[in-house]
């Protein structure tokens, strides 16, 4: 075997090992989420949010690059993008709306619900913002925000997150493989929908 073919074989073996490792994490989460079948929606959402926070905290502590994360209160370009959530998160958000008496712009929510991931950016700029984005630029449901929002962290200038002004590849993300896999497993097991449609359904549910 030549040196080149040896290093290609080593690389393939490393990739295979990494794939198996990631697959095992994904399978662990799908099994865990499938086992929540009998639990109430709000507990599943809260427990999964707590697990995501703990995971991100643990991975950030291990990864020196995370000290460059720039996200902060009032920085919110990402709150104008399509956000996928699962039904338990929609139920939690609907509960917050009901419990706090929050007034939502239902006409805008209805309009938003007609868009898909592919067509989201065709909305007028004034319609795109998440209904939970406050006038001060902060999230009004921060404690109950979906995991898609919790795990979205950038290490570049927040101004570059403005999709109207910058190219998507100009944004540098810090991410945890495990957080990505946890969220993929949740979307797969619980079901994925864009936040406006899922929230409307949860608000109309008895």
What value does the CA radius of gyration of the chain take, rounded to a whole number of Å? 19
Decide if residue 52 touches ligand SF4 (CB under 6 A). Answer: no
152: alpha, beta or left? (left if phi > 0; alpha if psi -120 to 50):
beta
Both structure tokens of 22: 């990631």
Give the footprint of ligand SF4 on residues 59-118 (CB under 6 A). Answer: 79, 83
How many helices (H) and strands (E) would you count in the chain?
Answer: 8, 4
Cα–Cα dist 199/94, whole Å: 6
Choose one: 24-32, 33-41, 127-135, 176-184; the region binding ligand SF4 (CB under 6 A): 127-135
End-to-end CA distance of the chain: 67
> Which residue in the set 49, 77, 128, 145 belongs to the binding site for ligand SF4 (CB under 6 A)?
145
- Residue closer to ligand SF4 (CB basis): 26 or 48: 48
For the chain, give the number of residues.
206
Both structure tokens of 102: 């929050």
* Residues 4 and 10 sit within 8 Å (Cβ to Cβ): no
- Residue closer to ligand SF4 (CB basis): 133 or 192: 133
> Which residue in the set 22, 139, 192, 194 belongs to the binding site for ligand SF4 (CB under 6 A)?
139
> Which residue in the set 82, 91, 141, 202 belongs to the binding site for ligand SF4 (CB under 6 A)?
141
> Which residue in the set 86, 132, 174, 190 belongs to the binding site for ligand SF4 (CB under 6 A)?
132
Give least dist CB 31 to ligand SF4, A: 27
- Residue closer to ligand SF4 (CB basis): 26 or 147: 147
Cα–Cα dist 104/204, whole Å: 13
> Which residue in the set 82, 130, 182, 186 belongs to the binding site for ligand SF4 (CB under 6 A)?
130
Cα–Cα dist 66/57, whole Å: 10
- Residue closer to ligand SF4 (CB basis): 51 or 104: 104
Binding site for ligand SF4 (CB under 6 A): 79, 83, 130, 132-133, 139, 141, 145, 149
């Amino acid at each position: 075997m030549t040196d080149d073919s040896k290093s290609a074989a080593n690389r393939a073996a490393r990739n295979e090992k990494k794939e198996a490792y990631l697959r095992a994490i994904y399978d662990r989460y799908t099994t865990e989420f499938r086992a929540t079948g009998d639990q109430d929606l709000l507990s599943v959402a809260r427990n999964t949010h707590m697990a995501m926070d703990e995971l991100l905290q643990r991975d950030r502590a291990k990864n020196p690059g995370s000290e460059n994360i720039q996200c902060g209160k009032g920085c919110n370009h990402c709150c104008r993008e399509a956000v996928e959530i699962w039904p338990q998160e929609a139920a939690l958000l609907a509960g917050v709306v009901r419990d706090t008496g929050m007034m939502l712009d239902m006409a805008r929510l209805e309009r938003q619900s007609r868009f898909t991931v592919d067509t989201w950016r065709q909305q007028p700029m004034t319609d795109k913002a998440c209904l939970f984005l406050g006038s001060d630029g902060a999230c009004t449901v921060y404690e109950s925000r979906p995991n898609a929002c919790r795990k979205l962290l950038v290490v570049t200038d927040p101004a570059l997150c403005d999709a109207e002004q910058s190219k998507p590849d100009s944004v540098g993300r810090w991410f945890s493989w495990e957080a990505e896999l946890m969220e993929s497993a949740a979307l797969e097991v619980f079901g994925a929908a864009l936040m406006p449609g899922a929230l409307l359904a949860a608000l109309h549910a008895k």
